[in-house]
Amino acid sequence: MSKGVAGLTTGAGTTTLPICALIGSASARIRILEIHIFNTTSTACNVVLCRLTTAGTPGTSATSRLTDAADTATLVGVLKNTYTSTAPTTTELGYGWPIPAAVGGGIAMTFPDDTLTIPAAANAGIGLLVESGTGQALRVTFRWAE
């Protein structure tokens, strides 16, 4: 099983346009291992984890990297930046975090089993939405296995 990592600095996002999302494909099931979320501003915001089932209009793709230098697989997972005009279909997953009003304030979550997976389906993904109010530019990293 290959393991990948990707990170980026997001735009603000909204309650309907994801801040970012890890998107899979129909060729592989992805298991989320870690998500790190850190504030790049001095304004607090609340974020929630969501499942995506349609494409929407995402921003640019971060570079996905294998965590094992000896692994020669091609990663399927792609971390997409802040969604712009068309919102994907999302469902909140019950995970939410207050991100404190301090540069560098945030959280690193680990998912040690199959708690959080992306099915092998086109446009499927796991992303972050603003829970309420105004979003902020965040530094986000996803680590996963596929």
Residue range 6-46, pLDDT digits in tens: 999 999 999 999 999 999 999 999 999 999 999 999 999 99
Q: How far from each other are the two terminal CA atoms of the chain, in whole angstroms?
A: 6
Mean pLDDT value across the chain: 95
**In the predicted model, is pLDDT for residue 133 greater than 90?**
no
Residue 91's pLDDT is 95
Residue 9's pLDDT is 98
Model's pTM, two decimal places?
0.94
